[in-house]
Amino acid sequence: MKTKSGIAVHGGAGTILRSSMTTEKENLYRAGLQEALTAGWSLLREGKSSVDAVQTAVTILENNPLFNAGKGSVFNHNGKHSMDASIMEGETLNAGAVAYVSGVKNPVILARKIMDDPEFVFLSGKGAEDFAREMNLRFEDEKYFYDEYRFRQYKEALKENSVQLDHSPSIKEKKFGTVGAVALDSEGNLAAATSTGGMTNTKFGRIGDTPMIGAGTYANNKTCAVSCTGNGEFFIRAVAAYDVSALMEYKNYTLKEAGEYVVNEKLISIDGEGGLIAIDKDGNICMPFNSEGMYRASVSENSEIEISIYK
């Protein structure tokens, strides 16, 4: 029996102030989400796997300078771009993750190569870059990752000695820069992927939830596939992505109940801010968030294309 396939993508969550959002900017974000969504959706309709669909969708978001991942990554404290990504497939529970790499054009493709290597799950830093070179992955120079707006933010953050969670012009407008995708294919296999360029002016080799299987990304054919975005420290402590699955498997919650509980009760109880996208083994999709907005889009055999930013 063919299952009902579907896909959802996100481009980060946070306090996305309507007042500083122009129609033009909003249209660009919507177009970026739609491009990633429909590319993944086309693959699923052709009978391709969910893991290929989420990898393709996240690659497109990484290549879009609007989103804080890949090309659009923010500057860390040392004026460098350090990127994290992860991917997981629900059939085998195989997973791949990478933290703190620079220069790799598409960290999600590196995470996939790590997943496909039977020896590894989680690689980091220069060593992970060496692995990427052995896999002949594409590297880009600093010019590729340079963005004047983000560089200005970095300089401002340095001056204020503050850590900015994303490419937001001020602390008032707080945005958690992550991209992600979750999908169910016609074989009934679930997959999830997440990627980020981290936080502006971050230091000490900080790793957030994005590359952490169970925190930022999780997929299990028994339950669901999940990709998170938010203040990563809280998502780690809540083991947020896996918790959605555990609530479904052990407490018989529906996807919607599990997602809402994690985002609006568990995370809020420890001051965690952000959201997640999730799809279950029947093709149901939920995209809860407790911040003012979350860039998100979804489509499935059960539902039309939906692209949203605010509640």
Tell me the one-letter amino acid at 127: G
User: Residue 253: CB partners within 8 Å, gap ≥ 6?
Assistant: 247, 261
- Of 131 and 289, the one with the shorter C-beta distance to a copy of itself is 131
CA–CA separation, 305 vs 298, rounded Å?
A: 6
Minimum gap (Å) between residue 108 Cβ and a copy of itself: 17
Show contacts with a copy of itself in window 229-258 (CB under 8 A).
232-233, 236-239, 242-243, 246-247, 250-251
Show contacts with a copy of itself in window 74-133 (CB under 8 A).
88, 92-95, 99-100, 119-128, 130-131
- Of 42 and 92, the one with the shorter C-beta distance to a copy of itself is 92
CA 263, distance to chain mean position in Å, is: 16
Contact stretch for a copy of itself (CB under 8 A) within 10-18, 21-29, 202-210, 277-285: 202-210
For Cα atoms 136, 140, 142, give the angle at the middle one, nearest 5 degrees: 150
Minimum gap (Å) between residue 271 Cβ and a copy of itself: 10
> Tokens 């539902």 label which residue?
303
Residue 205 binds to a copy of itself (criterion: CB under 8 A)? yes
Contact stretch for a copy of itself (CB under 8 A) within 15-23, 26-34, 65-73, 204-212: 204-212
3-state secondary structure of 236: helix
CA–CA separation, 167 vs 153, rounded Å?
A: 7
CA–CA separation, 107 vs 96, rounded Å?
A: 11
Minimum gap (Å) between residue 171 Cβ and a copy of itself: 14
> Which tokens sit at 49?
């796997």
Minimum gap (Å) between residue 199 Cβ and a copy of itself: 10
The residue from 151, 206, 301, 306 that contacts a copy of itself (CB under 8 A) is 206
- With CB under 8 A as the rule, give the number of residues binding a copy of itself: 44
DSSP letter for 200, please. Answer: B
The burial of 310, by beta-carbon neighbours within 10 Å (0-12 exposed, 13-18 middle, 19 or more buried), is given as: exposed
Show contacts with a copy of itself in window 14-73 (CB under 8 A).
none
Residue 151 binds to a copy of itself (criterion: CB under 8 A)? no
The residue from 213, 262, 279, 286 that contacts a copy of itself (CB under 8 A) is 213
- Whether 203 and 226 have beta carbons less than 8 Å apart is answered as no
> Which tokens sit at 175?
């945005």
- Of 133 and 172, the one with the shorter C-beta distance to a copy of itself is 133
| Residue 178 annotated in active site | yes
The residue from 43, 207, 255, 276 that contacts a copy of itself (CB under 8 A) is 207
CA–CA separation, 30 vs 24, rounded Å?
A: 10
Minimum gap (Å) between residue 235 Cβ and a copy of itself: 9
Which of the following is catalytic: 38, 56, 178, 217?
178
The residue from 24, 204, 304, 311 that contacts a copy of itself (CB under 8 A) is 204
Select from 220, 125, 127, 209 the least CA-distant residue to 165.
209
- Whether 218 and 89 have beta carbons less than 8 Å apart is answered as no
> Which tokens sit at 70?
């890949």
Residue 268 binds to a copy of itself (criterion: CB under 8 A)? no
CA–CA separation, 4 vs 282, rounded Å?
A: 6
Active-site residue set: 178
Residue numbers at the binding site for a copy of itself (CB under 8 A): 88, 92-95, 99-100, 119-128, 130-131, 163, 203-208, 212-215, 218, 232-233, 236-239, 242-243, 246-247, 250-251, 270
